[in-house]
Amino acid sequence: MDSAGDIAVIIPAKDEADRVTATVSAARSLPGVDLVVVVDDGSDDATGEAARAAGARVIRHSRNKGKAAAMESGAEAVRLLDEGRDRPRHLLFLDADLGESAKAAAPLIEPVRAGEADMTIALFPADRPKLGGHGFVVRLSRDGIRRATGWEAAQPLNGQRCLTRAAFDAALPLAHGFGVETALTIDLLRKGMRVQEVEVPLSHRATGTDWRAQAHRARQFRDVALALATREPTVARNLAKLKPSAKPPHPTP
Protein backbone atom coordinates (compact mmCIF):
# COMPACT_ATOMS: atom_id res chain seq x y z
CA MET A 1 0.00 0.00 0.00
CA ASP A 2 1.05 3.58 -0.66
CA SER A 3 1.94 5.25 2.66
CA ALA A 4 1.19 8.67 1.15
CA GLY A 5 -1.91 7.62 -0.72
CA ASP A 6 -5.20 9.36 -1.34
CA ILE A 7 -7.43 6.35 -2.12
CA ALA A 8 -9.43 4.20 0.28
CA VAL A 9 -10.84 0.95 -1.06
CA ILE A 10 -14.15 -0.19 0.43
CA ILE A 11 -15.21 -3.80 -0.12
CA PRO A 12 -18.71 -4.89 0.96
CA ALA A 13 -18.58 -8.64 1.57
CA LYS A 14 -21.04 -11.41 2.43
CA ASP A 15 -19.77 -15.01 2.68
CA GLU A 16 -16.70 -14.39 0.50
CA ALA A 17 -14.02 -16.11 2.59
CA ASP A 18 -12.79 -18.04 -0.43
CA ARG A 19 -12.08 -14.94 -2.55
CA VAL A 20 -11.74 -11.91 -0.29
CA THR A 21 -8.08 -12.61 0.51
CA ALA A 22 -7.07 -12.30 -3.13
CA THR A 23 -9.31 -9.26 -3.60
CA VAL A 24 -7.81 -7.42 -0.62
CA SER A 25 -4.25 -8.26 -1.63
CA ALA A 26 -4.88 -6.99 -5.17
CA ALA A 27 -6.60 -3.83 -3.92
CA ARG A 28 -3.69 -3.03 -1.61
CA SER A 29 -1.35 -3.05 -4.62
CA LEU A 30 -3.24 -0.32 -6.48
CA PRO A 31 -1.40 3.00 -6.89
CA GLY A 32 -2.44 5.58 -4.30
CA VAL A 33 -4.21 3.08 -2.05
CA ASP A 34 -3.20 3.35 1.60
CA LEU A 35 -6.35 1.94 3.19
CA VAL A 36 -8.58 -1.07 2.48
CA VAL A 37 -11.79 -1.46 4.47
CA VAL A 38 -13.84 -4.65 4.25
CA VAL A 39 -17.39 -4.50 5.58
CA ASP A 40 -18.37 -8.01 6.64
CA ASP A 41 -22.12 -7.78 6.12
CA GLY A 42 -23.30 -10.53 8.45
CA SER A 43 -21.29 -13.36 6.90
CA ASP A 44 -21.78 -16.93 8.09
CA ASP A 45 -18.22 -17.87 7.14
CA ALA A 46 -14.75 -16.52 7.97
CA THR A 47 -14.89 -13.55 5.58
CA GLY A 48 -13.85 -11.05 8.25
CA GLU A 49 -10.96 -13.12 9.52
CA ALA A 50 -9.65 -13.74 6.01
CA ALA A 51 -9.87 -10.04 5.11
CA ARG A 52 -8.08 -8.98 8.28
CA ALA A 53 -5.30 -11.50 7.71
CA ALA A 54 -4.85 -10.07 4.20
CA GLY A 55 -4.26 -6.58 5.60
CA ALA A 56 -7.70 -4.96 5.54
CA ARG A 57 -9.43 -3.10 8.33
CA VAL A 58 -12.67 -4.95 9.00
CA ILE A 59 -16.07 -3.70 10.10
CA ARG A 60 -18.66 -6.33 10.90
CA HIS A 61 -22.42 -6.06 10.75
CA SER A 62 -23.97 -8.51 13.21
CA ARG A 63 -26.68 -9.22 10.63
CA ASN A 64 -26.94 -8.80 6.89
CA LYS A 65 -28.01 -5.22 6.15
CA GLY A 66 -27.51 -5.13 2.39
CA LYS A 67 -25.04 -3.56 0.01
CA ALA A 68 -25.99 0.08 0.48
CA ALA A 69 -25.67 -0.15 4.26
CA ALA A 70 -22.28 -1.83 3.89
CA MET A 71 -21.12 0.96 1.59
CA GLU A 72 -22.25 3.60 4.08
CA SER A 73 -20.53 1.81 6.98
CA GLY A 74 -17.28 1.58 5.04
CA ALA A 75 -17.39 5.22 3.98
CA GLU A 76 -18.09 6.35 7.54
CA ALA A 77 -15.09 4.38 8.77
CA VAL A 78 -12.90 6.10 6.19
CA ARG A 79 -14.29 9.50 7.18
CA LEU A 80 -13.30 8.91 10.80
CA LEU A 81 -9.83 7.77 9.76
CA ASP A 82 -9.50 10.86 7.55
CA GLU A 83 -9.83 13.24 10.50
CA GLY A 84 -6.69 15.34 10.66
CA ARG A 85 -5.77 14.83 7.01
CA ASP A 86 -5.41 17.83 4.70
CA ARG A 87 -8.04 16.40 2.36
CA PRO A 88 -10.30 13.34 2.44
CA ARG A 89 -9.45 10.21 0.51
CA HIS A 90 -11.31 9.32 -2.67
CA LEU A 91 -13.45 6.19 -2.30
CA LEU A 92 -13.02 3.15 -4.54
CA PHE A 93 -15.76 0.54 -4.15
CA LEU A 94 -14.93 -2.99 -5.27
CA ASP A 95 -16.85 -6.27 -5.06
CA ALA A 96 -15.36 -8.89 -2.77
CA ASP A 97 -15.32 -11.61 -5.44
CA LEU A 98 -13.04 -9.82 -7.94
CA GLY A 99 -10.04 -11.80 -6.71
CA GLU A 100 -6.71 -11.01 -8.36
CA SER A 101 -8.44 -9.08 -11.15
CA ALA A 102 -8.93 -6.20 -8.66
CA LYS A 103 -5.35 -5.15 -9.37
CA ALA A 104 -6.59 -3.86 -12.75
CA ALA A 105 -8.91 -1.25 -11.19
CA ALA A 106 -6.40 1.63 -11.45
CA PRO A 107 -8.07 3.26 -14.52
CA LEU A 108 -11.14 3.93 -12.36
CA ILE A 109 -9.05 6.09 -10.05
CA GLU A 110 -7.24 8.25 -12.58
CA PRO A 111 -10.11 10.51 -13.85
CA VAL A 112 -11.28 11.17 -10.27
CA ARG A 113 -7.80 12.00 -9.03
CA ALA A 114 -7.22 14.26 -12.05
CA GLY A 115 -10.45 16.18 -11.40
CA GLU A 116 -12.00 15.01 -14.67
CA ALA A 117 -14.86 13.05 -13.07
CA ASP A 118 -16.75 13.02 -9.80
CA MET A 119 -17.58 9.33 -10.22
CA THR A 120 -16.28 6.62 -12.52
CA ILE A 121 -18.08 3.37 -13.25
CA ALA A 122 -16.32 0.24 -14.47
CA LEU A 123 -17.14 -0.97 -17.93
CA PHE A 124 -16.24 -4.65 -18.20
CA PRO A 125 -14.95 -5.69 -21.64
CA ALA A 126 -17.40 -7.56 -23.86
CA ASP A 127 -15.50 -10.84 -23.46
CA ARG A 128 -15.81 -10.81 -19.67
CA PRO A 129 -18.58 -12.67 -17.80
CA LYS A 130 -21.87 -10.79 -17.82
CA LEU A 131 -22.87 -8.87 -14.73
CA GLY A 132 -25.50 -10.42 -12.51
CA GLY A 133 -29.00 -9.17 -13.12
CA HIS A 134 -29.84 -10.68 -16.51
CA GLY A 135 -31.24 -8.46 -19.22
CA PHE A 136 -34.52 -7.44 -17.62
CA VAL A 137 -32.93 -5.83 -14.53
CA VAL A 138 -30.21 -4.15 -16.58
CA ARG A 139 -32.84 -2.74 -18.95
CA LEU A 140 -34.93 -1.49 -16.03
CA SER A 141 -31.93 0.36 -14.60
CA ARG A 142 -30.61 1.66 -17.92
CA ASP A 143 -34.00 2.91 -19.09
CA GLY A 144 -34.67 4.54 -15.72
CA ILE A 145 -31.35 6.37 -15.73
CA ARG A 146 -31.96 7.56 -19.30
CA ARG A 147 -35.45 8.84 -18.52
CA ALA A 148 -34.29 10.59 -15.36
CA THR A 149 -31.10 12.17 -16.70
CA GLY A 150 -30.77 11.67 -20.46
CA TRP A 151 -27.55 9.68 -19.95
CA GLU A 152 -27.18 6.19 -21.44
CA ALA A 153 -25.27 3.82 -19.15
CA ALA A 154 -23.74 0.74 -20.77
CA GLN A 155 -23.43 -1.22 -17.49
CA PRO A 156 -25.68 0.57 -14.99
CA LEU A 157 -25.50 -2.15 -12.32
CA ASN A 158 -21.70 -2.25 -12.12
CA GLY A 159 -20.64 -1.79 -8.51
CA GLN A 160 -16.98 -1.04 -9.21
CA ARG A 161 -16.93 2.75 -8.78
CA CYS A 162 -14.57 5.48 -7.67
CA LEU A 163 -16.01 8.68 -6.16
CA THR A 164 -14.77 11.81 -4.55
CA ARG A 165 -15.81 12.15 -0.93
CA ALA A 166 -17.95 15.15 -1.92
CA ALA A 167 -19.79 13.08 -4.52
CA PHE A 168 -20.45 10.26 -2.08
CA ASP A 169 -21.74 12.64 0.57
CA ALA A 170 -24.00 14.34 -2.00
CA ALA A 171 -25.75 11.00 -2.64
CA LEU A 172 -26.55 10.24 1.00
CA PRO A 173 -28.64 8.54 2.17
CA LEU A 174 -28.00 5.80 -0.35
CA ALA A 175 -30.87 3.90 -1.94
CA HIS A 176 -31.67 0.55 -0.37
CA GLY A 177 -29.83 -2.64 -1.26
CA PHE A 178 -29.19 -3.36 -4.92
CA GLY A 179 -30.82 -0.11 -5.98
CA VAL A 180 -27.73 1.77 -4.85
CA GLU A 181 -25.89 1.87 -8.19
CA THR A 182 -28.89 3.07 -10.18
CA ALA A 183 -29.72 5.75 -7.62
CA LEU A 184 -26.10 6.90 -7.28
CA THR A 185 -25.90 7.55 -11.00
CA ILE A 186 -29.20 9.42 -11.17
CA ASP A 187 -28.63 11.48 -8.05
CA LEU A 188 -25.13 12.63 -8.98
CA LEU A 189 -26.05 13.48 -12.56
CA ARG A 190 -29.04 15.47 -11.36
CA LYS A 191 -26.70 17.42 -9.07
CA GLY A 192 -24.55 18.36 -12.06
CA MET A 193 -21.69 16.01 -11.24
CA ARG A 194 -19.59 14.33 -13.89
CA VAL A 195 -19.95 10.58 -14.37
CA GLN A 196 -17.77 8.48 -16.68
CA GLU A 197 -17.70 4.81 -17.61
CA VAL A 198 -14.16 3.47 -17.86
CA GLU A 199 -13.23 0.14 -19.42
CA VAL A 200 -11.26 -2.03 -17.02
CA PRO A 201 -10.32 -5.72 -17.33
CA LEU A 202 -12.04 -6.82 -14.13
CA SER A 203 -14.05 -9.99 -13.67
CA HIS A 204 -16.07 -11.54 -10.90
CA ARG A 205 -18.01 -14.70 -10.22
CA ALA A 206 -20.81 -15.08 -12.75
CA THR A 207 -24.32 -15.30 -11.33
CA GLY A 208 -25.73 -18.78 -11.83
CA THR A 209 -29.17 -19.99 -12.83
CA ASP A 210 -30.27 -21.97 -9.76
CA TRP A 211 -33.05 -20.86 -7.42
CA ARG A 212 -30.65 -18.82 -5.27
CA ALA A 213 -29.53 -16.88 -8.34
CA GLN A 214 -33.13 -16.34 -9.40
CA ALA A 215 -33.98 -15.05 -5.93
CA HIS A 216 -30.99 -12.72 -6.12
CA ARG A 217 -32.24 -11.29 -9.41
CA ALA A 218 -35.71 -10.84 -7.97
CA ARG A 219 -34.22 -8.81 -5.10
CA GLN A 220 -32.24 -6.77 -7.62
CA PHE A 221 -35.40 -6.04 -9.59
CA ARG A 222 -37.28 -5.02 -6.45
CA ASP A 223 -34.52 -2.72 -5.18
CA VAL A 224 -33.87 -1.06 -8.57
CA ALA A 225 -37.61 -0.54 -9.07
CA LEU A 226 -37.96 1.04 -5.63
CA ALA A 227 -34.98 3.33 -6.25
CA LEU A 228 -36.52 4.46 -9.52
CA ALA A 229 -39.96 4.87 -8.00
CA THR A 230 -38.68 7.56 -5.65
CA ARG A 231 -37.02 9.37 -8.55
CA GLU A 232 -39.51 8.86 -11.39
CA PRO A 233 -43.23 9.62 -10.94
CA THR A 234 -44.10 7.35 -13.89
CA VAL A 235 -42.42 4.33 -12.27
CA ALA A 236 -44.15 5.06 -8.97
CA ARG A 237 -47.56 5.14 -10.67
CA ASN A 238 -46.90 1.85 -12.47
CA LEU A 239 -45.76 0.15 -9.27
CA ALA A 240 -48.88 1.37 -7.47
CA LYS A 241 -51.01 -0.51 -10.00
CA LEU A 242 -49.37 -3.84 -9.11
CA LYS A 243 -51.18 -6.13 -6.70
CA PRO A 244 -49.36 -6.69 -3.39
CA SER A 245 -48.62 -10.28 -4.40
CA ALA A 246 -47.15 -9.34 -7.77
CA LYS A 247 -43.63 -10.55 -8.38
CA PRO A 248 -40.98 -9.38 -10.81
CA PRO A 249 -40.92 -11.25 -14.13
CA HIS A 250 -38.96 -14.49 -14.32
CA PRO A 251 -35.82 -14.20 -16.43
CA THR A 252 -35.64 -16.56 -19.35
CA PRO A 253 -33.08 -19.37 -18.96
Per-residue pLDDT for 243 more than 50?
A: no
Query: What is the pLDDT confidence band of residue 233, given thresholds at 50, 70 and 90?
Result: low
Query: What is the pLDDT confidence band of residue 132, given thresholds at 50, 70 and 90?
Result: very low
Longest CA span, the chain: 55
Q: CB 177: neighbour CB atoms within 10 A?
A: 18
H helical segments located in the chain = 20-28, 47-53, 67-81, 106-113, 134-149, 165-170, 180-190, 211-229, 233-240
Residues 6+ apart with CB under 8 A from 224: 137, 140, 141, 144, 157, 178, 179, 182
Per-residue pLDDT for 171 more than 80?
A: yes
pLDDT at res. 209 = 56
Residues 6+ apart with CB under 8 A from 183: 171, 174, 175, 227, 230, 231
Query: What is the pLDDT confidence band of residue 165, given thresholds at 50, 70 and 90?
Result: very high
- For residue range 49-104, list pLDDT tens digits in order: 999 999 999 999 999 999 999 999 999 999 999 999 999 999 999 999 999 999 99
Is 0.75 topped by the overall pTM? yes
CATH architecture of 7-240: Alpha-Beta Complex (3.90)
Domain boundaries, the chain: 7-240
